Structure 1
Amino acid sequence: MEMPRVSEETVAAVVPIAVYWAYAGVHTALGQSRLMDKYRLNTKDEEDRKNMVSKRAVILNVLMQHLMQLAALAVLAMVTGGRGATAKAAGGSPAAVYLTAAARIAVASVWNGAAYHGVHHMPRGVRYNFSDLFFVTWDHVFGTHMPYAVEERPGGDGLVLKPLPPPKATN
């Protein structure tokens, strides 16, 4: 039995979303286990108390974002006649799509980290560190970067995020 051929457009549209949900699932599973407690920025109790948005609302918002992304790519495919423009716009060949998805995981996990954007969710940091993933440069350009320190929590049960005073604006 022959496998049905999947277009480059479909691969380019679906793979990044599938990778996102797989990675989010692994992240959630690790967050529920005790294995990673020593690396947590907030205790589970703090997380439950401080989260203003329910996990259900977050999931629905991310699903909506992904549906809009798929709709935009479908419109692009219709406008261009499906001549590979969608695949090129979303990352190129199927191999490039997989490589881009792997690079997104590496960058999001290693260099950006939860701490940088976590400052934004603190009362003192609400006007700072808006950026996520590749765009931290914009916080520096627009003066919305707030430095921070990550220290071991007293008692050794995780880490604590401490915003530092924002740099003085230069005139």
Structure 2
Amino acid sequence: MVFWEGYVSDEVMGIFAPIVIYWLYGGFYQLLPPLDGYRLHTRKEEEEKNLLSLSKVVKGVLLQQLLQAAVAHALFLLTSTADESGITIQPSIPIQIVQIIIGMFVMDTWQYFMHRYMHQNKFLYRHVHSQHHRLVVPYAIGALYNHPLEGLLLDTIGGAIAFLTSGMTARTSVFFFSFATVKTVDDHCGLWLPGNIFHIFFQNNTAYHDIHHQLPGTKYNYSQPFFSIWDKILGTHMPYTLVKRPEGGFEARLVKD
């Protein structure tokens, strides 16, 4: 039993829950006070280095989410296992946990290799992936700001493959994709807040991804959104150290092996 049962279907929740959560969680960060003592970049850096307006970022994210919703709808139609009464038998909680873990590793694998290739292929980087890097100083609402082709190939198809490979149901996918959304937004929030559970339990976190957005780090730290395994295995892992700035806040500095 889940709280939405009897109100909306699992499929509808699977389509719209990640979108709503994106704007709620990203909006939460956007509405916070400046918190200069916890920022990885100063407000001045954000204003001077980022190459596009907030309104353009919002429009770009909404376009990607429209494509994401269309693919999710088609995916649920094709994989529905509901019986004649419209009920889908849900696996046990331990099996759902295993499916989510499988989905995390599959999504990480797909996104690592696609992300890395978009940096190595000069045409794809110049015409597609560079759009995301126009946010030199990342912020939460810009987490899914990409070229539409990148959004489709990297995020949407990557999520679809994780869903199909793991065998999760639409209901399980609500939790999986909602968690992936929160993690992705957090990785782009630009804040190093004390007690953030993602910073405690994941090496792939806000500072880790911030290194990738810095010019010297663009060939490193490709992994997203969960683990840093592929970076470490394939030699693209760039460690960092957090240094307290005299004027307040932190700076993530590269530490070359």
Do Structure 1 and Structure 2 share a fold, with TM-score over 0.5?
yes
Identity across the alignment (%): 34
Structural mapping, 1:92-131, within 5 Å: 92=169, 94=171, 97-98=174-175, 101=178, 105=182, 108=186, 110-111=198-199, 112-131=204-223
Cα 1:67–1:39 change in 2 (3 A) is same
Aligned to 2:232: 140
Give distance in 2, aligned partners of 1:150 and 1:39: 11
Cα 1:133–1:77 change in 2 (3 A) is closer
Q: Which amino acid aligns with 1:161?
A: A
Cα 1:12–1:136 change in 2 (3 A) is same
Post-superposition Cα deviations, 1:50-75, rounded to whole Å, max 9, x if no partner, equal 11343233322322221111111121
Structure with bigger gyration radius: 1
Structural mapping, 1:8-157, within 5 Å: 8-30=10-32, 33-34=33-34, 36-80=35-79, 83=82, 89=163, 92=169, 94=171, 97-98=174-175, 101=178, 105=182, 108=186, 110-111=198-199, 112-155=204-247, 157=248
Partner secondary structure for residue 151 of structure 1: strand
Give distance in 2, aligned partners of 1:114 and 1:163: 14
TM-score (norm 2): 0.52
Give distance in 2, aligned partners of 1:119 and 1:48: 18
Partner secondary structure for residue 149 of structure 1: strand
Instruction: Tell me, yes or no, if the aligned pair for 1:12 and 1:92 is still in contact at 8 Å.
Output: no
Query: Per-residue deviation at 1:160?
Result: 1.3
Cα 1:44–1:132 change in 2 (3 A) is same
Measured on the aligned residues, the alpha-carbon RMSD in Å equals: 3.1
Partner secondary structure for residue 154 of structure 1: coil
Mean Cα deviation higher: 132-141 or 103-112: 103-112
Query: Per-residue deviation at 1:42?
Result: 0.7
Structure 1 unaligned regions, length at least 5: none
TM-score (norm 1): 0.75
Query: Per-residue deviation at 1:19?
Result: 0.8
